[in-house]
């Protein structure tokens, strides 16, 4: 029986978009058939580098490419709703980069569009495919550290240079928590469920070029009597990292997105105090983890199975992020709104 081949197009030729392109080309049942960017020079360079002849400066023209099955949207966040809706209307499967959207109106519209369509719609929450976090989640699910009681993650990044290269990141509607901190929030949601209440504080000392807080810390309540902390800094002077720690009644896991191992502290049965010995578990580092993410997307299409992070999941992560921003702005605790029905 002849294997089905997915014909895929990528909208944007940014560095992140090219990582997605390589992921498509690495999949044995996918072909990168078309790319798009409004910058003609970037488009030409990416096309020549990756051997793609079909190049478009208008995403609507790419959607009309003959035989196209799916698109990956890697554009500025402000454009996601328009492009997702257009791609689904054109009967294409969609993998959209995080954050899914920047406003509640857009979140609701995308969730609704996904429900109307019979195409797959997946949100690129890349941390769910990061080897260290995948290994940590497996240990938690297996009960190796007992019941969770505290979880924390950070998004520590320095936007100083990339703000000058990507002006869309400085849009006040984006905010560092929604635009980047959603990685940490989604990771904790993946482990502990939807936050039921958040309390946050923020400062703005590092990035005068932007009109939003560049440092935020949030305390989150989760189901099952679990509490958590998210730290987001888009101006910190250190290497980019997402150091995360998951505390359970029988042990602790320390992990991040850039170390080739995770550290497990585990109390052996009948041996009080044995959890003080660290055990390093090797993991394979991956370049932005787009290969695993695309494989999950492609496999869902080829096997007609649910995608791991659908529009509802992407929207819930952003709803929690919006609650964090609101809490910091208003100086009070906020309950996230997970109702995406349009009134």
Residues 148-187 pLDDT 10s? 999 999 999 888 766 654 566 777 677 899 999 999 999 9
Kindly state whether residue 13 falls inside one of the protein's structural domains.
yes
The pLDDT of 192-215, averaged and rounded, is: 93
Kindly state whether residue 301 falls inside one of the protein's structural domains.
yes
CATH of the domain at 50: 3.40.50.720
Kindly state whether residue 267 falls inside one of the protein's structural domains.
yes
The pLDDT of 80-93, averaged and rounded, is: 98
Kindly state whether residue 315 falls inside one of the protein's structural domains.
no
Could you tell me which residues come within 8 angstroms of residue 35 by beta carbon, excluding any fewer than 6 positions away?
Answer: 9, 10, 11, 13, 17, 21, 43, 46, 47, 50, 52, 54, 55, 56, 62
Residue 343, pLDDT score: 67
Residues 95-127 pLDDT 10s? 999 999 999 999 999 999 999 999 999 999 999
Kindly state whether residue 221 falls inside one of the protein's structural domains.
yes
Do 238 and 303 share a domain, yes or no? Answer: no
Measure the CA–CA gap between 109 and 94, rounded to whole angstroms.
Answer: 15
pLDDT above 80 (res 48): yes
Do 220 and 257 share a domain, yes or no? Answer: yes
Least confident of 98-102, 196-200, 204-208: 204-208
Residue 275, pLDDT score: 74
Do 174 and 132 share a domain, yes or no? Answer: yes
Do 304 and 259 share a domain, yes or no? Answer: no
The terminus-to-terminus CA distance of the chain in angstroms comes to 48
Do 133 and 270 share a domain, yes or no? Answer: yes
Name residue, tokens 């995608």: 307
The tokens describing 90, both together, are 């054109």
Do 249 and 192 share a domain, yes or no? Answer: yes
pTM of this structure: 0.95
Residues 258-276 pLDDT 10s? 899 999 999 876 676 667 8
Residues 4-23 pLDDT 10s? 999 999 999 999 999 999 99
Kindly state whether residue 343 falls inside one of the protein's structural domains.
no
Do 48 and 29 share a domain, yes or no? Answer: yes
Residues 287-301 pLDDT 10s? 668 999 999 999 999
Name residue, tokens 């081949």: 5
pLDDT above 80 (res 281): yes
Confidence of residue 229 (pLDDT cuts 50, 70, 90): very high
The percent of residues above 70 in pLDDT, for the chain, comes to 94
Which is higher by pLDDT, 64 or 167?
64
Do 69 and 13 share a domain, yes or no? Answer: yes
Do 189 and 297 share a domain, yes or no? Answer: no
Measure the CA–CA gap between 294 and 62, rounded to whole angstroms.
Answer: 19
Do 118 and 239 share a domain, yes or no? Answer: no
Measure the CA–CA gap between 25 and 46, rounded to whole angstroms.
Answer: 13
Residues 311-342 pLDDT 10s? 999 999 999 999 999 999 999 999 999 999 97
| Structural domain for 43, as ranges | 6-126+289-309
């Amino acid at each position: 029986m002849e294997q089905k081949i997915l014909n895929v197009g990528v909208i944007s030729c940014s560095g992140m978009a090219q990582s997605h392109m390589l992921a498509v080309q690495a999949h044995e049942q996918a072909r990168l058939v078309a790319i798009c960017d409004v910058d003609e020079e970037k488009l030409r360079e990416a096309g020549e580098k990756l051997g793609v002849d079909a190049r478009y400066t208008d995403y609507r023209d790419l959607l009309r490419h003959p035989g196209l099955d799916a698109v990956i949207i890697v554009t500025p966040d402000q454009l996601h709703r328009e492009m997702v809706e257009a791609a689904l209307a054109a009967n294409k499967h969609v993998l959209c980069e995080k954050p899914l959207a920047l406003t509640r109106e857009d979140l609701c519209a995308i969730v609704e569009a996904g429900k109307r369509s019979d195409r797959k719609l997946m949100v690129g929450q890349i941390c769910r495919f990061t080897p260290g976090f995948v290994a940590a989640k497996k240990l938690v699910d297996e009960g190796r550290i007992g019941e969770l009681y505290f979880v924390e993650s950070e998004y520590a990044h320095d936007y100083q240079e990339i703000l000058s290269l990507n002006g869309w990141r400085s849009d006040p509607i984006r905010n560092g928590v929604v635009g980047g901190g959603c990685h940490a929030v989604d990771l904790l949601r993946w482990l502990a469920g939807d936050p039921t209440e958040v309390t946050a504080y923020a400062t703005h000392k590092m990035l005068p070029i932007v009109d939003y807080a560049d440092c935020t810390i949030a305390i989150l309540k989760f189901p099952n009597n679990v509490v958590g902390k998210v730290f987001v800094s888009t101006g910190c002077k250190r290497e980019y990292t997402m150091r995360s720690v998951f505390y359970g009644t029988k042990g602790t896991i320390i992990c991040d997105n850039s170390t080739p191992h995770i550290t497990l502290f585990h109390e052996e049965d009948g041996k009080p105090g044995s959890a003080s010995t660290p055990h390093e578990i090797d993991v394979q580092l991956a370049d932005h983890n787009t290969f695993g993410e695309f494989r999950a997307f492609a496999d869902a299409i080829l096997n007609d199975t649910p995608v791991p992070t659908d529009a509802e999941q992407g929207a819930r992560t952003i709803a929690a992020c919006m609650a964090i921003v609101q809490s910091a702005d208003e100086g009070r605790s906020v309950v996230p709104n997970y109702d995406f029905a349009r009134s």
